[in-house]
Amino acid sequence: MSWPPARRSLSRICFLGDAFVTGAGDEEALGWVGRLARHEWRGNHDITIYNLGIRGNSTRDIGARWREEVARRLPPAANGRLVFMFGGNDAKEVVGKGIEVPIEESAANAEALMREASSLLPTLWIGLIPMNDTKPYPQLLAGPRFAFSNARQAEYNERYARIAERIGVPFLDLHTPLMRDRRWQDLTQAGDGSNPAGEGYQLIADMIAAWPAWRAWFDRA
Protein backbone atom coordinates (compact mmCIF):
# COMPACT_ATOMS: atom_id res chain seq x y z
CA MET A 1 0.00 0.00 0.00
CA SER A 2 1.31 3.42 -0.91
CA TRP A 3 1.56 6.10 1.73
CA PRO A 4 -0.07 8.48 2.19
CA PRO A 5 -3.26 6.83 0.93
CA ALA A 6 -4.99 8.37 -2.05
CA ARG A 7 -7.41 11.11 -1.09
CA ARG A 8 -11.00 10.32 -1.97
CA SER A 9 -12.01 13.99 -2.08
CA LEU A 10 -10.59 17.46 -1.67
CA SER A 11 -12.63 20.37 -0.37
CA ARG A 12 -12.57 23.65 1.51
CA ILE A 13 -15.42 24.25 3.93
CA CYS A 14 -16.33 27.42 5.79
CA PHE A 15 -18.28 26.92 9.00
CA LEU A 16 -20.16 30.06 10.02
CA GLY A 17 -22.07 30.87 13.16
CA ASP A 18 -21.68 31.57 16.85
CA ALA A 19 -20.13 30.04 19.98
CA PHE A 20 -21.34 26.55 19.14
CA VAL A 21 -19.41 26.69 15.86
CA THR A 22 -16.33 28.05 17.61
CA GLY A 23 -16.45 25.20 20.09
CA ALA A 24 -16.74 27.34 23.21
CA GLY A 25 -16.49 25.31 26.39
CA ASP A 26 -14.56 22.42 24.84
CA GLU A 27 -11.53 21.52 26.91
CA GLU A 28 -9.93 19.93 23.83
CA ALA A 29 -10.43 23.07 21.71
CA LEU A 30 -11.87 21.05 18.80
CA GLY A 31 -15.60 21.64 19.02
CA TRP A 32 -17.84 19.71 16.67
CA VAL A 33 -16.17 21.26 13.62
CA GLY A 34 -12.74 19.85 14.44
CA ARG A 35 -14.17 16.47 15.39
CA LEU A 36 -16.24 16.31 12.22
CA ALA A 37 -13.24 17.14 10.05
CA ARG A 38 -11.15 14.52 11.86
CA HIS A 39 -13.84 11.93 11.13
CA GLU A 40 -13.72 12.65 7.40
CA TRP A 41 -9.92 12.73 7.31
CA ARG A 42 -9.97 9.20 8.72
CA GLY A 43 -11.99 8.29 5.65
CA ASN A 44 -9.30 9.84 3.41
CA HIS A 45 -11.25 13.01 2.65
CA ASP A 46 -8.90 16.00 2.49
CA ILE A 47 -10.78 18.88 4.12
CA THR A 48 -9.47 22.36 4.73
CA ILE A 49 -11.71 23.83 7.41
CA TYR A 50 -12.23 27.49 8.16
CA ASN A 51 -13.94 27.99 11.50
CA LEU A 52 -15.72 31.33 11.22
CA GLY A 53 -17.77 31.13 14.38
CA ILE A 54 -17.83 34.17 16.67
CA ARG A 55 -19.21 34.07 20.19
CA GLY A 56 -22.30 36.21 20.63
CA ASN A 57 -23.04 36.56 16.92
CA SER A 58 -26.64 36.85 15.81
CA THR A 59 -28.07 36.74 12.30
CA ARG A 60 -27.45 40.48 12.11
CA ASP A 61 -23.73 39.97 12.71
CA ILE A 62 -23.32 36.92 10.49
CA GLY A 63 -25.26 38.54 7.68
CA ALA A 64 -22.93 41.52 7.76
CA ARG A 65 -19.67 39.57 7.60
CA TRP A 66 -20.04 36.20 5.92
CA ARG A 67 -19.62 37.21 2.26
CA GLU A 68 -16.24 38.88 2.68
CA GLU A 69 -14.93 36.18 4.99
CA VAL A 70 -15.95 33.40 2.63
CA ALA A 71 -14.61 35.18 -0.46
CA ARG A 72 -11.17 35.48 1.13
CA ARG A 73 -11.02 31.73 1.80
CA LEU A 74 -12.82 30.12 -1.13
CA PRO A 75 -11.45 31.19 -4.52
CA PRO A 76 -13.52 30.26 -7.56
CA ALA A 77 -11.31 27.28 -8.41
CA ALA A 78 -11.70 25.71 -4.95
CA ASN A 79 -14.22 23.00 -4.17
CA GLY A 80 -15.85 25.36 -1.70
CA ARG A 81 -18.77 24.60 0.59
CA LEU A 82 -20.63 26.35 3.40
CA VAL A 83 -22.11 25.15 6.69
CA PHE A 84 -24.15 27.50 8.89
CA MET A 85 -25.30 27.12 12.50
CA PHE A 86 -26.87 30.08 14.30
CA GLY A 87 -29.94 31.31 16.16
CA GLY A 88 -29.17 30.94 19.85
CA ASN A 89 -28.09 34.53 20.16
CA ASP A 90 -31.13 35.76 18.26
CA ALA A 91 -33.44 33.97 20.69
CA LYS A 92 -31.66 35.00 23.88
CA GLU A 93 -33.09 37.57 26.26
CA VAL A 94 -30.91 40.55 27.11
CA VAL A 95 -32.06 41.01 30.68
CA GLY A 96 -33.87 44.31 31.04
CA LYS A 97 -33.96 44.98 27.30
CA GLY A 98 -35.83 42.12 25.65
CA ILE A 99 -35.09 39.52 22.96
CA GLU A 100 -31.88 40.11 21.01
CA VAL A 101 -33.43 39.60 17.56
CA PRO A 102 -37.23 39.14 17.46
CA ILE A 103 -38.33 36.06 15.59
CA GLU A 104 -39.79 37.85 12.56
CA GLU A 105 -36.57 39.78 11.99
CA SER A 106 -34.48 36.69 12.66
CA ALA A 107 -36.46 34.68 10.12
CA ALA A 108 -36.09 37.40 7.50
CA ASN A 109 -32.35 37.68 8.16
CA ALA A 110 -31.91 33.92 7.99
CA GLU A 111 -33.84 33.55 4.76
CA ALA A 112 -31.91 36.31 3.01
CA LEU A 113 -28.61 34.88 4.21
CA MET A 114 -29.36 31.30 3.24
CA ARG A 115 -30.86 32.18 -0.13
CA GLU A 116 -27.74 34.09 -1.11
CA ALA A 117 -25.31 31.54 0.30
CA SER A 118 -26.98 28.58 -1.40
CA SER A 119 -27.03 30.43 -4.72
CA LEU A 120 -23.25 30.73 -4.55
CA LEU A 121 -22.02 27.41 -3.16
CA PRO A 122 -23.28 24.06 -1.84
CA THR A 123 -24.73 24.98 1.55
CA LEU A 124 -25.97 23.13 4.62
CA TRP A 125 -27.95 24.60 7.52
CA ILE A 126 -27.81 23.19 11.04
CA GLY A 127 -30.44 24.22 13.55
CA LEU A 128 -30.16 25.51 17.09
CA ILE A 129 -28.60 23.53 19.92
CA PRO A 130 -30.38 23.54 23.30
CA MET A 131 -28.73 25.34 26.18
CA ASN A 132 -29.06 24.71 29.87
CA ASP A 133 -31.81 27.15 30.80
CA THR A 134 -32.20 25.92 34.38
CA LYS A 135 -29.22 27.93 35.67
CA PRO A 136 -28.22 31.55 35.09
CA TYR A 137 -25.93 32.09 32.14
CA PRO A 138 -22.36 32.60 33.43
CA GLN A 139 -21.41 36.25 33.18
CA LEU A 140 -17.71 35.88 32.50
CA LEU A 141 -17.07 39.45 31.38
CA ALA A 142 -18.48 42.82 32.32
CA GLY A 143 -21.56 43.54 30.26
CA PRO A 144 -25.24 42.68 29.91
CA ARG A 145 -26.79 39.60 31.45
CA PHE A 146 -28.45 37.01 29.21
CA ALA A 147 -31.21 34.49 29.78
CA PHE A 148 -32.03 31.55 27.52
CA SER A 149 -35.23 29.64 26.97
CA ASN A 150 -35.23 26.32 25.14
CA ALA A 151 -38.95 26.72 24.48
CA ARG A 152 -38.24 29.98 22.67
CA GLN A 153 -35.27 28.47 20.88
CA ALA A 154 -37.53 25.66 19.66
CA GLU A 155 -39.77 28.29 18.04
CA TYR A 156 -36.83 29.80 16.17
CA ASN A 157 -35.60 26.35 15.19
CA GLU A 158 -38.99 25.37 13.80
CA ARG A 159 -39.24 28.62 11.87
CA TYR A 160 -35.79 28.09 10.36
CA ALA A 161 -36.72 24.54 9.36
CA ARG A 162 -39.77 25.80 7.47
CA ILE A 163 -37.68 28.40 5.67
CA ALA A 164 -35.09 25.80 4.72
CA GLU A 165 -37.74 23.52 3.28
CA ARG A 166 -39.26 26.34 1.27
CA ILE A 167 -35.98 27.52 -0.27
CA GLY A 168 -34.51 24.05 -0.71
CA VAL A 169 -31.55 24.14 1.68
CA PRO A 170 -30.86 20.93 3.65
CA PHE A 171 -31.62 21.54 7.34
CA LEU A 172 -30.60 19.38 10.29
CA ASP A 173 -32.80 19.66 13.38
CA LEU A 174 -30.56 19.00 16.38
CA HIS A 175 -32.73 20.83 18.88
CA THR A 176 -35.53 18.28 18.99
CA PRO A 177 -33.45 15.12 19.52
CA LEU A 178 -31.07 16.80 21.98
CA MET A 179 -33.97 18.03 24.09
CA ARG A 180 -35.03 14.39 24.38
CA ASP A 181 -31.54 13.22 25.31
CA ARG A 182 -31.26 12.98 29.10
CA ARG A 183 -27.50 13.43 28.89
CA TRP A 184 -27.62 16.81 27.21
CA GLN A 185 -28.38 19.05 30.19
CA ASP A 186 -25.47 17.47 32.06
CA LEU A 187 -23.18 17.88 29.08
CA THR A 188 -23.89 21.61 28.82
CA GLN A 189 -22.92 22.05 32.46
CA ALA A 190 -19.71 20.09 31.90
CA GLY A 191 -18.46 22.81 29.56
CA ASP A 192 -18.69 26.48 30.49
CA GLY A 193 -22.15 26.12 31.99
CA SER A 194 -23.91 26.86 28.72
CA ASN A 195 -21.89 25.42 25.86
CA PRO A 196 -21.03 21.71 26.13
CA ALA A 197 -17.67 20.18 26.91
CA GLY A 198 -15.86 17.79 24.59
CA GLU A 199 -18.26 14.88 25.04
CA GLY A 200 -21.18 17.07 24.03
CA TYR A 201 -19.40 18.32 20.93
CA GLN A 202 -18.55 14.74 20.00
CA LEU A 203 -22.24 13.88 20.18
CA ILE A 204 -23.05 16.77 17.84
CA ALA A 205 -20.26 15.76 15.44
CA ASP A 206 -21.56 12.19 15.33
CA MET A 207 -25.08 13.39 14.52
CA ILE A 208 -23.84 15.61 11.69
CA ALA A 209 -21.49 12.93 10.34
CA ALA A 210 -24.47 10.58 9.94
CA TRP A 211 -26.68 13.20 8.28
CA PRO A 212 -27.42 12.15 4.68
CA ALA A 213 -27.00 15.69 3.36
CA TRP A 214 -23.50 15.88 4.86
CA ARG A 215 -22.62 12.34 3.77
CA ALA A 216 -23.61 13.17 0.20
CA TRP A 217 -20.66 15.57 0.02
CA PHE A 218 -18.23 12.72 0.66
CA ASP A 219 -19.70 9.30 -0.02
CA ARG A 220 -20.24 10.13 -3.69
CA ALA A 221 -16.60 11.18 -4.09
13: pLDDT strictly greater than 50? yes
CA distances for 219 relative to 5, 40, 182, angstroms: 17, 10, 32
For the chain, percent of residues with pLDDT exceeding 70: 92
Stretch 77-81: mean pLDDT, rounded?
Answer: 94
Q: What is the pLDDT of residue 130?
A: 92
For the chain, percent of residues with pLDDT exceeding 90: 77
Stretch 198-210: mean pLDDT, rounded?
Answer: 96
Give the Cα separation of 11 and 200 in Å (integer): 26
> Looking at the domain assignment, is residue 2 inside a domain?
no
Q: Which residue has the higher pLDDT, 183 or 178?
A: 178
Stretch 190-197: mean pLDDT, rounded?
Answer: 77
- Amino acid identity, position 100: E
* CATH number of the domain encompassing residue 123: 3.40.50.1110
Stretch 39-61: mean pLDDT, rounded?
Answer: 96
Per residue in 115-141, pLDDT tens? 999 999 999 999 999 987 776 555 556
> Looking at the domain assignment, is residue 73 inside a domain?
yes
> Looking at the domain assignment, is residue 190 inside a domain?
yes
Per residue in 27-36, pLDDT tens? 999 999 999 9
> Looking at the domain assignment, is residue 1 inside a domain?
no
Query: Which domain range does residue 208 map to?
Result: 9-219
- Paired with 16 in beta bridges are 52, 84
Q: Cα 151–153–159 angle (5° rounding)? A: 110
> Looking at the domain assignment, is residue 165 inside a domain?
yes
Q: What is the pLDDT of residue 171?
A: 98
> Looking at the domain assignment, is residue 4 inside a domain?
no
Stretch 46-50: mean pLDDT, rounded?
Answer: 96
**In the sheet that 146-147 helps form, which strands lie side by side, from edge to edge?**
98-99, 93-94, 146-147
Q: Looking at the 3D structure of the chain, how many domains does it have?
A: 1
> Per-residue confidence at 178, pLDDT binned at 50, 70, 90?
very high
Q: What is the pLDDT of residue 182?
A: 85
173: pLDDT strictly greater than 60? yes
Q: What is the pLDDT of residue 135?
A: 62
> Per-residue confidence at 50, pLDDT binned at 50, 70, 90?
very high
> Looking at the domain assignment, is residue 3 inside a domain?
no
Q: What is the pLDDT of residue 193?
A: 67
